[in-house]
A and B are shown apart, each in its own frame.
Chain A
Amino acid sequence: MKVDLIDVDALAGLVGGERVLVIDPYPEVVPTAVEDKLLYLSSSIYGGISPLPLFSFSKGEARYLLSPRLHKSLADLMPGLKALYIEVVGEPQYPFTAVALVLSDLGINVAEAFLREYVCPELAALEEDDVPLARAIRSAVSKYLAVAASSPSPRSIRCFCGLCEDRGDRLDLDVLALDLKRRTAPRARRRDGLADLGEEDRAIVLRVIRGLSIPEFRRELLDLLNRYEV
């Protein structure tokens, strides 16, 4: 596995090559909750790195690349954003399932069309509910961002594909839904002096930091402080 840190602005170069198939696992409209979360995690206090890695791997004759659509839209909001570019070297095993699992670790609700088209065929061939590539990607990513394996197991995606025992029981996509509390926490926070605070206080401090970068909020806060002569 090769890991590079690249400028999101330079992404166009990656897509330009021959025989590159761009796959898009992201929901068409990104929920504001996910976007706020990504913006907050990629803000400058964490070094401006997008918490969403970009993957590339070769399978058969083609090279697949995870769509940079979401990265571009984040870079639109945060100029200078960088992304981890992870290239799987060698013949990947169950790459689409691995991508789906890692993205849901990161709080992205993977698009149903992606599950149906790419992940379900892999799961039909996958004998055990173990995807070593997902573990390998998690450990590569966790050098930059702490990623907890919190995604649903392949078993629950199996049900979505109609491959599990109780066929009537489709995967509730809500299982894949964002859990704001238990997701990635960048490593940086261990060094940022906030480590001594409790979870709740830290969350408040970080919300205020994010709030201060928003001009309107900052202005109103200053007005308020001035009015009460703080």
Chain B
Amino acid sequence: MMEHISIYRMADAVHALLAVDREPYALNAFLKIANSWVLRALSDVPGPDLRRRACRAFMKLLDGTREALEAPAAVRAPCSPRGATRIESIKYSGCARFVAEWGAEFVYRLVYDERLRARAIRTAARNLAAYVRYGMRLEGPYSSDWLSLADTAQSHELRDLVWKPFMARVEVDILSQCKLLSAVAEVWR
């Protein structure tokens, strides 16, 4: 049943749960993100602590869907950077997912905060340009719009081109937090 959930939706759900204490919109976002499949995945993990269960459910899904986070040989841009500024609802396909995976941002955060959205779009453009330099193909009618937006150089050397940039976000904000909660005994990867 796991394959019915996008790893991006699950990442949003877990991150929102972890952020509930500090972010005013996280709980609200969680209620929108958590569809029946997410709730089912959470309830399949035993335990009293919801955040630990969320971590375990996330790891379980990650194990099965890690290729979704691997950098592809070619990617098709579903929208232009301009179109991306109009992302307004939490969706795990099309433009919203594209900006999340290349801009390394959670979908719900870029929907709720337009400053984060604008930044994610710029980051996505820079990341796409960097991956293209290393041989990835960017396809579709909007590809040149994205590449021409990447005017500034990457401030850090990209170390890990095996994964899509979203993986760095997952590692920093979910895996490390889950480790703190000691929800995940074994080190992943």
Contacts and interface: CB of A to CB of B under 8 A. Distances in A.
B173 A216 contact: no
What is the interface of chain B mostly: helix, strand, loop, or mixed?
Answer: helix
A149 interface: no
How extensive is the interface on chain A, given as a class? 20 to 34
Contact of B24 (A28, A37, A210): A210
Nearest to A32: B173
Interface stretch (B76-84, B92-100, B107-115): B107-115
Nearest to B155: A69
Nearest to B109: A32
Nearest to B157: A28
A73 interface: yes
Given A73-B119, A214-B112, A29 B22 contact: no
Given A27-B172, A210-B24, A217-B28, A32 B15 contact: yes
A63 interface: no
A121 interface: no
A81 to B, nearest CB: 12
A171 to B, nearest CB: 15
A36 B23 contact: yes
A148 B68 CA distance: 43
A229 B23 CA distance: 26
A211 interface: yes
24 contacts: A27-B172, A30-B172, A31-B173, A32-B172, A33-B173, A36-B22, A69-B156, A76-B115, A76-B119, A77-B115, A78-B115, A174-B179, A180-B21, A180-B22, A207-B23, A207-B24, A211-B25, A214-B25, A214-B112, A214-B113, A215-B114, A216-B25, A216-B112, A217-B24
